[in-house]
Amino acid sequence: MRVRRTPYLSRTLRVATLAVLVYTLACLMIPFDPAMPGSGIDPSWRYALNEAVARHFVFGKDLIFTFGPYGSLYTQMYHPATDARMLTGSAYLALCFIGLLVWLTRRINVAWRLLLILLFAGATYLTDALFFAYPLMVALLAYRLATPPVDEADRPAAPRGTAALTILLFSPLGLIPLVKGSMLPLCVAVAALSFLYALIHKRRGLAAIYILSPITSLILLWTGAGQPLQALPGYFWNMVPIISGYTEAMIFPAPGAANEKYVYVATTLMVLAALLTARRLPLVARLYLVSAFTSYLFLCFKAGFVRHDGHALIALTGGLLGAILARTVVDSILIRVATLIAIGGVVIGMKTYIGPPIQQTYWRMAEVYRSGPTGLRLRLKDPERLERHFGRTRDVLRKEGDMPLMQGTTDVYPFDQAYLLATQNQWAPRPVLQSYSAYTESLEELDAQHVAGNHAPDNIAMRIFSMDGRYPSLDDGPSWPIFFARYEFISRSGLFSYLRKKPDFVAPIYTELADLTASQGQWVDVPKATMIYVKVQIRHTLKGKIIAQLYRPSPLRIRVRLEDGTVRDYRLVSRMAAAGFVLSPLIETGEDFENVYRAPQTLANKGVNAMQIVAEYGETQWADTYGLKFYAVSP
């Protein structure tokens, strides 16, 4: 009797877990109950991103940021003008993700599927890992479709899908870079690897699909979002400094021992070793799989451990998902051990960054399974509810930000776009949406050209705040002298100092005072002038370049000695410092900023008479000497 029931029970469990997996992913990926705008750095750029789409900004030209015109699929934030696109785009991606995952995992047992359900429903910081995982799953699909039966001696190759289905499943490789531009390298790598693998196995039709499907979907989705086709190269070209500048600019130190980093590395090495030593597979197949998994796991590593705070959970959840996906092609003791280690890493990460793992998992699962059906029911029952909620949220933000109604166009620095967008003021943003993310010289110069040009805002709401303890005037460094020359201080209210554009603009004059070379750790005397502007040229050594590419470099520190003898210590980002910034006087507060306009004599004690640049650690990652150019700035 027991023998007869076992196959039935097994089939029932497989069907039940499959249904729960599909339901979980649908609840997770389709925002039936989306987030609403809020205050702060992240909610502000999410709101501004939707507003940019609603106002038909050209991405890569009018707006240069990590995200593209389909960014709402990532943020899952509501806006009346983007809600339909968010829902349809998310449903399309969810359909492809679910279909592909179900097909890839159809042969794994119930325990592995339950682990997937627990991961998707209970883990936080999962969004990036999901987007990273799709190209990896596509790579596994390409492997299955192109591999001849003889590559797996004890079972036939996976059944070929129809050409239409393959085209559909590869098409999100064109969508994902339009959601988040920094995912382009992974999508390109997977498409190229799949193309080459298919050619090696003489599957030319599949090879064509692997390339043409993403390119076609990319073009159709870009133009379908109202973006001009000729602007598409600019979108990706201007994404390059965002991607290349991120690592140094956004370094954040790990708390305590940060053992989860080593857990992730152990997981990665075991997964790659399992794939490389799977002797049932021919060498070409092993190299292909190792290349695909390396691309995915490396991107997860950088996303999680460059900024080593809660972002670490991106890597940890991504590592666990990668181990489970590796199980779909290789079943070995290494994969099982890697999975156990990855589970331990997720538990450690949750405990370190968000709270007790069991409690947090329960709350997260409750939210996932509540928001999906509840959100869908309310959308059907009361279609206007979200728009009313959006209006009430804007009212709250308007009161919280307390921004006056200003004549003409307005921009807000360094972030807080949510406060501005909640008012009736006319938003006129600089190209790089938030100041901290202008990571390089070219991005800082773009923003400076904007504020000096014909489309400069009539008003500026200014708040002195710098990410991660950077030198206060480093963000928007080249723009500050233009602020002082082109704008006048009007008033202060709440968080912001308000500036108004003068009728006539005379560009600031830069008079070079010194051009010299200094050594790391050397105190350098700063020339005397009312306002000193400095450009710093400091380069990585070869060792530093390699470490920066593979992990993250040592941060730089700038120490300044003031006229009253006080020493201040701040972060310095080399590629931002190369563009230049106001070194003296040291402007640390809104009051200091306002006094540049109304009472510069009060800043005498804030004058900088000496400066020093050092590496926080790993001095050999940076050149021993660096260049300094000092300028006196006058309006």
- Residue 259 phi, psi (nearest 5): -65, -20
pLDDT at 157 over 50: no
* Range 597-602 contact pairs with CB under 8 angstroms and sequence separation of 24 or more: 597/484, 597/488, 597/489, 598/489, 600/530
Q: Are 613 and 572 in contact (CB under 8 A)?
A: yes
- Residue 261 phi, psi (nearest 5): -65, -45
pLDDT for the residue numbered 158: 45
pLDDT for the residue numbered 256: 61
- Summarize pLDDT for 7-56 with one digit per residue, the tens: 777 788 888 999 999 999 999 999 999 999 999 999 999 999 999 999 99
Whole-number Å distance between alpha carbons of 212 and 215: 5
From the DSSP assignment, how many helices (H) and strands (E) are in the chain? Answer: 24, 13
Angle, vertex CA 294, rays to CA 288 and CA 295, nearest 5:
95
pLDDT for the residue numbered 152: 45
pLDDT for the residue numbered 154: 41
Q: How far does CA 223 lie from the centroid of its chain?
A: 23
pLDDT for the residue numbered 1: 36
C-alpha to C-alpha distances, 273 to 153, 285, 539, nearest whole angstrom = 21, 14, 36
Closest Cα to residue 151, out of 333, 329, 334?
329
pLDDT for the residue numbered 148: 73
Question: How does the average pLDDT of the chain come out, rounded?
Answer: 94
- Which residues on adjacent β-strands are paired with residue 496? 493
pLDDT for the residue numbered 149: 60
- Summarize pLDDT for 405-439 with one digit per residue, the tens: 999 999 999 999 999 999 999 999 999 999 999 99
Write out the two tokens for 380. 């059907």
- Summarize pLDDT for 63-77 with one digit per residue, the tens: 999 999 999 999 999
- Summarize pLDDT for 196-244 with one digit per residue, the tens: 999 999 999 999 999 999 999 999 999 999 999 999 999 999 999 999 9
Angle, vertex CA 503, rays to CA 499 and CA 506, nearest 5:
90
Whole-number Å distance between alpha carbons of 173 and 393: 34
DSSP 3-state of 581: strand
Strands 409-413 and 459-462: parallel
pLDDT at 173 over 90: yes
Q: Are 193 and 291 in contact (CB under 8 A)?
A: yes
- Summarize pLDDT for 381-396 with one digit per residue, the tens: 999 999 999 999 999 9
DSSP state of 600: G
Q: How many alpha carbons lie under 13 Å from residue 564 in its C-beta half-sphere?
A: 9
Write out the two tokens for 615. 């590496």
If you average pLDDT over residues 483-489, what whole number do you get? 97
Give first-to-last CA distance, the chain, whole Å: 93
Q: What is the 3-state secondary structure (H, E, C) of 348-389?
A: HHHHHHCCCHHHHHHHHHHHHHHHHHHHHHHHHHCCCHHHHH
pLDDT at 107 over 70: yes
If you average pLDDT over residues 470-495, what whole number do you get? 96
Helix axes 184-200, 172-179, angle to 10 degrees: 160
Largest CA distance in the chain: 95
DSSP state of 635: -
599: how many CB neighbours lie within 10 A of its CB? 10
Please report, rounded to a whole number, the percentage of residues in the chain having pLDDT higher than 90. 88
Peptide bond between residue 356 and the one before it cis (omega within 30 degrees of 0): no
Q: Are 140 and 325 in contact (CB under 8 A)?
A: yes
If you average pLDDT over residues 588-616, what whole number do you get? 95
Whole-number Å distance between alpha carbons of 209 and 165: 11
pLDDT for the residue numbered 150: 46
Closest Cα to residue 246, out of 187, 305, 306, 304?
306
Q: Are 337 and 89 in contact (CB under 8 A)?
A: no
pLDDT for the residue numbered 257: 59
415: how many CB neighbours lie within 10 A of its CB? 24
* Banded pLDDT at 156 (limits 50, 70, 90): very low
If you average pLDDT over residues 496-520, what whole number do you get? 96
pLDDT for the residue numbered 161: 52
- Summarize pLDDT for 245-295 with one digit per residue, the tens: 999 999 998 766 578 899 999 999 999 999 999 989 999 999 999 999 999
- Which residues on adjacent β-strands are paired with residue 488? 500
* Banded pLDDT at 618 (limits 50, 70, 90): confident
If you average pLDDT over residues 80-104, what whole number do you get? 97
